[in-house]
A and B are shown apart, each in its own frame.
Chain A
Amino acid sequence: MVFNSLTFIAFFAIVLAIHSLPLAWKIRKVNLLIASYLFYSAWNPPFVILLWISTVVDWYAAQGLVRAQRPVARRAWMLLSVVANLGMLGYFKYGGFLLANFTALLASVGVAYHAPAPDIVLPVGISFYTFATMSYTLDVYLRRALPARNFLDYALFVTFFPHLVAGPIMRPTELVPQFEQPRRATRRQLFFGLALMTIGMFNKVVLADGFLAKAAETVYDTDKIPGALDAWMGTLAFSGQIFCDFAGYSTIAIGVAMCLGFAMPDNFRFPYGAIGFSDFWRRWHITLSSWLRDYLYIPLGGNRHGPRRTYAALMGTMLLGGLWHGASWTFVAWGGLHGIYLSVERWLRRHFAGFRPNVWALLAFGLITYALVNVTWVFFRAKTFSRAWTVLGGMVGANDKAVPLLGTESLVVVTAIIAGLVVTHWLMRDRTLESLLARAPAAVLSCTWAVMAFAIIATQGNGNAFIYFQF
């Protein structure tokens, strides 16, 4: 079930109504659990079994971790969780990719092997909930957390529908304690939650799907060769589309949880206002980047073993982070580019530690960061390396046989939205949305809310899935 659908509106109204009834807290939690399974089943009912497997394996793994005395036994319980989760992820998400690469590898040494098409359906959200459940076992293994006190709270942590299929990737310590005490939204929480849902929906339905997606599709989903203007505008459009799509989802999720009385963490912090790439990753998909940092980068050695090891850990983390996004080498290239950016930035910071840029230099660094992030989006958006090179060729003005692809209306709309987005991110880079709203006149808030709601309805979104569902 996607948030931007009539089905979800009806579903959420029913869930909210039951959650608001004067029932025992346990009954209301059971309501949320059942609702969450229905939310997931509404996409493809049989795959709820995978969710149960992931839930049960990690529950027992964490119990085993607590009982185990010897380090070997603890490690075995931890590995059970990791292997089960990564095994599921590997089969469903990377099965076809691995087979294709194996076939290509054999072909490269002269062995003609034609594997049958695996035709594996990717269960929606599997990358998100496997990471959430793994963080539960890993936190217990690393002695950062104790297991949940009861299975209901734990199962609800895994399944809670606002974060289930596309994050924010929750840690058990963020959510399980919230299930220990009765929660029901106050009127202010309910109203502000609805405001957040409207903002998220506006980002997704109006900006991402309504005005930006088409320009990106026109440039990327064609055989025609783009010139500099089209290549840049298509890529900028995608940079806005993916932000509005994913940040929109996160904002809706936070709003939905708030309407039910729960708090979820920030997943984005105005990332296109970043100055440098470490800053970018502290602002973009925060719950994934911090997950990779805590459970991959630091265990790989982090910055504790000298520069070489640090660079290797950085590259390894970002390459795997790229692969997490999709079973394709283009995603690996996307992650690899970010790894290179982070490594270069780290090297520059070490060698120019005394450099103190003025405001104009900071602005220039911000724009350079955004431009280079856009270069990475080319590999993220293009379905093949061939198309990525064509678009990149356009961006540097190297395409001789370019033809115009985007009409005037696309160029104007994309320019307006992206300029607005980048300026907003720059102005908001050291602030939160809430701090801005706290100072805004009530009349302005009402008008803005109404315009957004009208635009959402008038745009008539067709229930397009969020981009990150495929990851």
Chain B
Amino acid sequence: MSQENAFPGSADSTLVVERSASAEARIAVRPGLRLTAADRPGVAQPVPERDIPDRPWGAILLAALVMTALMLGAWEWHWRSFGVEPSLANSDALWATQRRRIDHGEGDGATVLIGSSRMLFDLQLPVWQKLSGTRPIQLALEGTSPMFALEDLADDPNFRNGRLLVGVAPDIFFSGFAYRADVLRYFDKQSPSQRIGQWLSMHFVEPFLAFDDPDFALPTVLERQNWWPVRAGMHPRKDVRKLMVVVDEDRASHIWDKLEEDPAYAALAQGIWAQHFALRPGDSPAALQKGADEQIARAAKAVGKLRKRNVEVIFVRTPSAQKYLAFEDKVFPRAKTWDVLLAKTGAPGVHFQDHPELQGFWLPEWSHLAAGDAVRFTQALYAIVERDIERKTPKSVARVRRR
């Protein structure tokens, strides 16, 4: 930066006016190095010259393509051997396609599902559609409290005269934990380029490649190897592994078959949940209750807004089992959370422990239903909603919703 030239003068016929006996002449360039703008202060910069190494680039490219194809083939084979099948990515962009349906004409009278992974895996869209004649819009997100979606829908006048099923997984709902709450920001700012990319990925990549899943991304796979010793002072925490498969473009999903077929993988998933059963320092009962009360207050406000637009909100406590259920009962006892939620919001709720037909299912990793049981659960839940809740809904409201 400290070098500079006097500014030489006039012009010739082209755009580049002058370089006089400029930089190239003054600066000794070592072999293998070329000048850059850093070497030519205060002058018009010339057209860059780029040398191409004298190598057989056509043959090099061809060989590289063959080797890349072989490596990718081996990588794909490895993951298919692990039990993975190609499926759609549960991406922010896919969520945005479903959220957009509400703003693009389907929000009037729609049945919308929000919640966390249990609502996403356990409620089967084709079954609900077969029973009701309408396919719900699936907006549940794994590891994420539905509060952001509840408030977003409450503020969206395009959603009216419909029904909203809100999945309640106590540890997520009443803590407000939101692993993927940024999805709303993504939805608001999604660019045309991202929308095109989603379409291309959904049609030309995801249906064909099993390894195209964040769980099998190279850095993630390396990080999850057992060869890394645990650093002193750090807890050996494991991230949640792949648990689901998206089977349709509208985010219809179910639990991954491997959890049902591979006991070791199910045990790994259980072990990962168990990490969360030990409360962290600072998670006192009083602090947890305060957090739960805040979430309930937010829910009550949002439900009030939705009710004014004739949207029926139904809370659904989806099943959990064994140690997971024991953890939820201990940390988020029903009397202080679920019951308060229904009382404060005035909304109806379906708790799986209140209905025998919602019990007795197989949950391979204590938190999500096996795929076959998810079908039976959906059938039973639909019947309960129609029988117990729809009957209590004022006829005028029900009539409007059925239009």
Contacts and interface: CB of A to CB of B under 8 A. Distances in A.
Given A287-B37, A463-B194, A408 B211 contact: no
A195 B57 contact: yes
A210 B217 contact: yes
Contact of B219 (A314, A438, A459): A459
B11 A404 contact: no
A430 B61 contact: no
A189 B40 CA distance: 26
Interface centre among A145, A403, A445, A450 (most CB of B within 10 A): A450
Given A265-B37, A287-B37, A442-B60, A171 B45 contact: yes
Contacts of A309: none
Interface string B40-74: 11111111111111111111110111111001100
Contact-residue size bin, chain B (C-beta under 8 Å from the other chain)? 35 or more
B75 A298 contact: no
B52 A188 contact: yes
A234 to B, nearest CB: 14
A4 to B, nearest CB: 10
Interface centre among B48, B63, B214 (most CB of A within 10 A): B48
B322 interface: no
B1 A289 contact: yes
A258 B191 contact: no
Given A409-B228, A442-B60, A432 B33 contact: yes
The secondary structure that dominates the B interface is loop
A408 B46 contact: no
A442 B50 CA distance: 20
A435 B29 CA distance: 13
A129 B173 CA distance: 46
A447 B234 CA distance: 38
Interface in A360-417: 403-404, 406-409, 411-413
The secondary structure that dominates the A interface is helix
A146 B197 contact: no
B13 to A, nearest CB: 8
Interface string A438-462: 1010110111011101110111101
A174 B48 contact: yes
Interface stretch (B15-23, B254-262, B337-345): B15-23
Interface string B197-222: 10011001100000111101111001
A206 B66 CA distance: 21
Contacts of A57: none
Interface of A: 1-2, 5-8, 10, 41-45, 139, 142-149, 171-178, 180, 187-189, 191-192, 194-195, 206, 210-211, 214, 254, 258, 263-266, 269, 278, 281-283, 286-287, 289-294, 297-298, 302-304, 310, 314, 317, 342, 346, 403-404, 406-409, 411-413, 430-432, 434-435, 437-438, 440, 442-443, 445-447, 449-451, 453-455, 457-460, 462-463
Interface of B: 1-2, 4, 7, 9-11, 14-18, 30-34, 36-61, 63-68, 71-72, 75, 191-194, 196-197, 200-201, 204-205, 211-214, 216-219, 222-223, 225, 228-234
Given A408-B229, A440-B55, A455-B218, 10 more contacts: A5-B193, A7-B194, A7-B196, A42-B192, A146-B15, A173-B15, A176-B15, A430-B33, A435-B31, A460-B212
9 contacts: A6-B197, A7-B197, A8-B193, A41-B192, A42-B192, A45-B192, A278-B1, A290-B37, A304-B4
